[in-house]
Structure 1
């Protein structure tokens, strides 16, 4: 196929990560569907196309001809019909909407994206059902779904996602397609500085005085203890326990004992540290937990990338960003004492600076967190269209 002259549809389109990737290869979007109003507004603003369609209510015969179907669909459990092994029903799931469109249109190429655990979801049954249905329609697939992260393509973000690629070819449906990932991967990862703005940004992105206080205390803690490689989460509430609580599960007892041992090995310092910080009484419960995952490459928390997570405050090396998974976990750049801006999140997902994000800060963070990475899709689509 001439990759400069093809048509595609964009299902569960969000803010258009697939659209951005395929249009950059010369594709024309002929149909898009989304039900989130904030996403619909952003999509329309950037592409001048309405995605305001609930795919469950769209007649597949009304969808225009297209060469490529793209979809980042939710991972849902399929019901088993009766007790017959291998007999499944996709009705009531959003994959069914993809299935019925493909059965009618026999779209030449499919590019589907999902969360990593799709492969193991429902004890492997979810992937088995998807594979069997796509084979039944007439698609050649990779032997297993591709598990890819932007960092494999030089983008400084670790974010594993599953990609299912298919080519309509009923005669050879049992013959797998091969995607030469090694040819696309880059040996060197771009520095995180490539996505950062190095001028002062809007005040709303800077951490609060309380957050500075909490992070400053944990920075003092790390610098003050003897151990510099900590292979377990630090739970300050257990420092002064003599033994782990009996009712704890075995795995938790191990962690508690390690915290007790850490305290005993640094007792004088930790006692002073607790007194100086009022026994952490002003800390939110999750901020009394600390995870150092930066090895010995950095000496200070402020040199790392920091996340406020439900499991505690996590510090990582400043060479790659964690996945943009939740609004409250947007990474903090230690040396700048601020969170990633919306524009920086857009760059992490390979959107161009010309892209217009939502004016709603929380919505924009969520949208980029849910989006596919534009460059990863672009690499895959380009290979698929030029090889098959």
Structure 2
């Protein structure tokens, strides 16, 4: 989430005047250029360049970049700008509000595609004003201001899945209504997609990262209104389902790992002796349970501090618990009741367990039939240790709750996290501190997922798009630059 610099609140009446003056019909002079040569794009709230990687692959030319975070901007420039000849470098903006004044010219060059992984902020809930007015004071308004002034052929927005959920219904309605008023054909149904649903041959990566993509094609407000009046809605660009004959369980986390011997300062990613002791203790329980009971551990969170006999339960204390917590406490008590002899023996053999932090006396087993905790991918969470099968990984987040690869007994490095987002193997954070790198990757766009939805949108709307854009996308290989030399060879190791 970027820092929000609020716009000055001017009267809505003046804003309506400006909106009314904007042409609402599609004229020949309004249509994006279809001249030969690369299509142009701008990259807003650009982060470290997930959209840039995808749009460059599609044959585009970056003309404008805006990113307010200095460290993220430095990473972007290092990887995508400094490598270009000076005359081909895009305009760099540090604060989109300075380029999009409410009155006056928009300081953004013409372009065919506007891409933005925009922050989501609350909009006005009056429901009585036009979309542009309701978006006022938010960073989405600055995007709308550019669309109003430049009318690119395609708008491509990305946000977390909750943007289309019930808690953000007003925000979603304002976004869709604003885009339609500005002349964009856009569905009011979200396109939701994740990179783990794509095979490596289509740019997929082993990360479950559901994101909402909003894609619009400029056809003019009058035509948008006419299509809506006929009940026409283009619907989601793609379905949230595996592509081609792909099965997500075919992934292996090894796909994105670098060779240990090639990682500088490998020791800083290795588990500490204390962390190893946490895993070793729980691993012993995993193995004993399978040997004695013959099955895997249950899937609900195991809370060792709640292990007691049913006769020892305090009914009055339980009455004060919220329903979700009461359910888990009861499950843990019953688990201990059924397996108390095994658990008591395990605890006697691990007296160090009593001194573990409270969050490390909890385990959530989601690793199916694996027989050892060291065979899993783990996360040390505030809510406990979570273990998953080493296929696809949970979504990267903008904090250092980094995945731990059990077989290697270490965390993913920032470089590996970038590859998990589909960024090229050559991608570099320089000498930046790891905390900033993890944050930037967690805030980033998954390249393969963005490429897939963008390509499908261009193919679907090709008759309404500039030929230069359509031809470039069709000429680009379906496989974006992969983050590993031979990804398919690693799938079944």
Q: When the two structures are superposed, what TM-score results if normalisation uses the length of structure 2? A: 0.74
Assess, with a 3 A threshold, how the Cα gap between structure 1 residues 69 and 86 changes in structure 2: closer, same or farther.
closer
Matches of 1:118 and 1:7, distance apart in 2 = 28
| 1:275 equivalent in structure 2 | 348
| 1:103 equivalent in structure 2 | 148
What is the DSSP-based 3-state SS (H/G/I as helix, E as strand, rest coil) of the residue aligned with 2:175?
helix
Matches of 2:407 and 2:242, distance apart in 1 = 33
Matches of 1:2 and 1:335, distance apart in 2 = 53
Q: When the two structures are superposed, what TM-score results if normalisation uses the length of structure 1? A: 0.92
Assess, with a 3 A threshold, how the Cα gap between structure 1 residues 4 and 375 changes in structure 2: closer, same or farther.
farther
Which of 50, 55, 63 does residue 108 from structure 2 map onto?
63
Deviation per residue, 1:42-82 (Å, 9 max, x gap): 1111122563420012135221000000000112111223x
Assess, with a 3 A threshold, how the Cα gap between structure 1 residues 181 and 248 changes in structure 2: closer, same or farther.
closer
Equivalent positions of 1:13-24 (< 5 A) are: 13-24=46-57
Is 1:9–1:70's contact at 8 Å kept on the other side of the alignment?
yes
Matches of 2:109 and 2:255, distance apart in 1 = 39
Deviation per residue, 1:320-349 (Å, 9 max, x gap): 111111433211111110111222111111
Give the superposed CA RMSD. 2.3
Matches of 2:145 and 2:434, distance apart in 1 = 36
Larger mean CA deviation between 27-36 and 249-258 belongs to: 249-258
Aligned-pair distance for 1:230?
A: 0.9
Which of 214, 220, 225 does residue 164 from structure 1 map onto?
214
| 1:220 equivalent in structure 2 | 284
Give the count of matched residue pairs: 386
Q: Does 1:209 align with 2:273?
A: yes
What is the DSSP-based 3-state SS (H/G/I as helix, E as strand, rest coil) of the residue aligned with 2:331?
helix
Q: Does 1:31 align with 2:64?
A: yes
Which of 229, 233, 242 does residue 176 from structure 1 map onto?
233
- Consecutive unaligned residues in structure 2, runs of 5 or more: 1-33, 82-89, 200-204, 462-493
Equivalent positions of 1:139-288 (< 5 A) are: 139-154=184-199, 155-170=205-220, 171-173=222-224, 174=228, 175-177=232-234, 179-181=237-239, 185-188=243-246, 189=248, 190-200=251-261, 201=263, 202-225=266-289, 226=293, 228-240=296-308, 242-243=312-313, 245-278=318-351, 280-288=353-361
* Bigger Cα Rg: 2
Matches of 1:375 and 1:123, distance apart in 2 = 26
Which of 396, 405, 412 does residue 324 from structure 1 map onto?
396
Higher fraction of strand = 1
Matches of 1:71 and 1:2, distance apart in 2 = 24
Matches of 2:444 and 2:192, distance apart in 1 = 16
**Bigger RCO of structures 1 and 2 (CA < 8 A, at least 6 apart):** 2
Q: Does 1:376 align with 2:449?
A: yes
Aligned-pair distance for 1:22?
A: 0.2
